[in-house]
Amino acid sequence: MKGGESTLPDAAPRGPGGILFPRGLRRRLTRMPSPAQLQQLLQEAVAHHRAGRLDRADALYRRIRAAQPGNFDAVHLAGVIALQQDRPAAAIDLLARAKKLSPKSAVCVMRLGLALAAMRRTAEAEREMRLAVQLDPKFHEGWDNLAYCLKLQDRLTEALACHQKAVALKPDFAAGWFNYGLTLSFDGKVREALQCHERALAADPTFANGHYGRAQALQQANRLDEAITAYGRFLEIQPDHLEARSYRLYAMNNLERISREELFAEHVAYGRAAGRHPVPDFFQNADPERRLRVAILSPDLRLHSCAFFLGPLLQHLDPARFEIYLYHDHFREDAVSRRLQARAAVWRNFVGQPGPAVEKIIREDAPDILIDLAGHTGMTSRLPLFARHLAPVQISYLGYPNTTGLAAMHYRFTDPVADPVGEADALATEKLVRFAPTAWAYQPPDFAPEPNPSPCAAGGPVHFGCFNNLSKLSEPTLAAWGRLLSAVPGSRLVLKGTGLGVSAVREQYCARLAAAGLPSDRVDLLERTAETKDHLALYHRIDVALDSFPYNGTTTTCEALWMGVPVVALLGDRHVSRVSASLLTAGGHPEWIAKTPDDYVQIAATLASDPTRLASIRAGLREEMKRSVLLDHAGQSARFGDALRQCWRERCGLLLRRSA
C-alpha cells in the first residue's frame, strides 16, 4: 500500500464485506474520514437502506463505526438491518450498544425489544417495550409492539388494551389496525377482527396486509367463498406470499364445488412457489437399521386434537429404535405439552422465530426423519422450510387432510380407507404410506364423563347433534339435516361452535338453517365450551351424531363414539371426506357410513326410530372402542415405528444409489 491507496486492482474496487464501490469512494474509505465525509457516508448508507440494498448499507455502517464507534445512527441502523435480515442475536448486541449511546431514544429501545422477542427472551422484551412507551407515551408503534410481547405470553386482554391505545393515538395507523385484528382473532373475537382489518384498508387502501387480515377473519368467520376471494386479491399484490397460499388452500378443502383435481393443481402450484432447493449430502451414516432421530414439528403440542392422536404413538414408541425431538410452534404450553415433553429427548419452542433461525437449529439437531403435523393449517406454516430439505426423510401426517404439494415432502402417512390405493396416489406429491388399518390412535381424556342413558329413552324427542367446527357446515350438509328433521317428526338438532353465543352470529346461522329447511325452534345453538370435560358432557344431550361433509370430523367423531353416541357419516371422494369412514370402520361400525346423501338421511332416521337399539349402542360403544384398533396404542405405535423404519430404508437406498 502506498500513499494510503488500496492495493486492490482498479477493476475490482471492493469495500468491507466484499461490496463493490465506485472508485472515488474506494479511495475515501482507505483513510480516516473527516466528520463531513462521515456524514456523507451516513447519508449514502441510509439511501441504500431505504432502497432495500441492505448489504451495501451495512458495509457503510460498519465503516462509519470503525471510524466513530460512538455514532448512534450507524450503530442503531446496523441493528435495524440485523433485525431485517433475521439475525436477532447481532441485532441485540448492536441495539443494546445504541441504547447506551442514546438512552432516551424510544425507537431504539423498542427495536431492542423486538430483537429480544425474536430470541424468545420475552420478559426482557416486555421490559424494553414498556420503557419505550414510558420514554414517549404517545409512541403508537411502541404500544403496538408491547401488545405483541404480551400476546407471546398469552396475555391477550392486556395485549388488546395496548392495541387499542396504539390506534387511539394514531387512527390512520394501518399496520396497527391489522395487528389489532390478528390479536382479536387469537382471542376468538372474529367480528371485531374483521372490522379492524377493514379499518386498516380504510386508513390505507394500498396496505396489502389489510386484504390478508380481512381474508383470515372471513375464513375464521366461516365465510369461506369470500375468504378465498380476499386471499386471491392479496395474492395478486404479493404472489409469492406462501403463508397466504397455505390459508387459501386450507379454506378450499371445505368446498365441495372445487374438484379434487383442481385442488391438487392448487397444491402443486404452492410447491412450485415454494421453490426447488438443492438436497444436502445427508448420508454420512446410511445404516438402515441404526437408531433414528425423529423430529416432529407442530403448533399443536398442547391441549389440541392433534395431541390426542400423537400422544399414544409416542408413549409406546421403542426408545431403543427412536430418539424423539419435539418442536412446538405456539406460544401456549400446558399440561399436555409437559406430558409430551416427558417423552422427548429434546423439546424446543419455535414460536415467533424467523425461518432462517428455525432452519439453523433443525440442521444442527440433524434429525434423520422430520415429521410435519400442520401442513397448510398453521398460524405460521413451516412448509417453506421443508421445501429446503431439512432432513433426509420428511413426512406429512395427522394435521392436514391433503397433499402438501412439496416435492421435498417424501411421504404422507394415511390409511387405505381415507386414501384408497390407486386413485389417491395420483393426487399426492408425496408417496402415500398406508401404515395401519386406520391412520389414527385415539387417546380419550382421563376426565371424560361416563356415557349417560340415551336422551330419547325416556320418551322425549330424538336429538341429533354435530359439534364439528362451524366452517365444516356446508350447504349440502345443512340440506341433508333439513330433510332428516322432516323425516323424523319432533326431532331436534343441537349445534355447538365458536361464536354461536353472539347474537349477530346466531342470527347469521339461523338464516342459513332456515334456508335449508331447519326451523330455528327445533335447533339448539350452543357456544363453544372453555373446558374439554364440559364439551364431552354435552354429548349427554345427543342421541345420534351427524358428521359434516365434504369436510369430516376427526376428533369429534372419536369423542362422540367414546361418549356412546353413534355417528352417521357420508363417504366422499377425497381424504377430507373419508376420515370418519376410516374411524367408523376401525371402530367396527361400517353400517353407519352412507354412500349418498339419501343414504345418510335414511341411516340417521333408522337409528332414531329405535330407542331400544340406541340405548344398547350407548351402553356398549365405549367398550367396543377400547377393543378397537383406535385404542390399540401399542399396536398402532409399533406399526407407526415400522413405517418410519421402512421410509428410512427406502431413502437410504435411493440416495446412496444417486451418489454412487
Question: In the chain, what's the furthest Cα-to-Cα distance?
Answer: 105
Please report which confidence band the pLDDT of residue 10 belongs to, taking 50, 70 and 90 as the band edges: very low
pLDDT score, position 459:
86
Quote the strand ranges of 510-557, DSSP E.
523-527, 544-546
The span from the CA of 430 to the CA of 406, in Å, is 8
The span from the CA of 358 to the CA of 329, in Å, is 10
Mean pLDDT of 205-222: 94
Of 5, 16, 18, the residue nearest 41 (C-alpha) = 16
Task: Tell whether the model's pLDDT for residue 40 goes beyond 50.
Answer: yes
CA of 262: how far to CAs of 60, 132, 242, 249, 267, in Å? 50, 50, 18, 11, 9
Reported as a single tens digit per residue, the pLDDT across 587-638 is 999 999 999 999 999 999 999 999 999 999 999 999 999 999 999 999 999 9
Quote the strand ranges of 285-443, DSSP E.
292-298, 322-328, 346-349, 369-372, 393-396, 411-414, 431-434
pLDDT score, position 305:
85
Contact of 95 with 76, CB cutoff 8 Å: yes
CA of 308: how far to CAs of 329, 350, 468, 638, in Å? 17, 21, 16, 17
All structural domains of the chain: 171-274 (1.25.40.10), 292-434 (3.40.50.11380), 456-629 (3.40.50.2000)
Contact of 520 with 513, CB cutoff 8 Å: yes
Task: Tell whether the model's pLDDT for residue 243 goes beyond 60.
Answer: yes
pLDDT score, position 51:
95
Contact of 436 with 504, CB cutoff 8 Å: no
**Residue 9: which residues within 8 A CB-CB, separation 6 or more?**
none
pLDDT score, position 1:
35
How far is C-alpha 652 from the chain's CA centre? 30
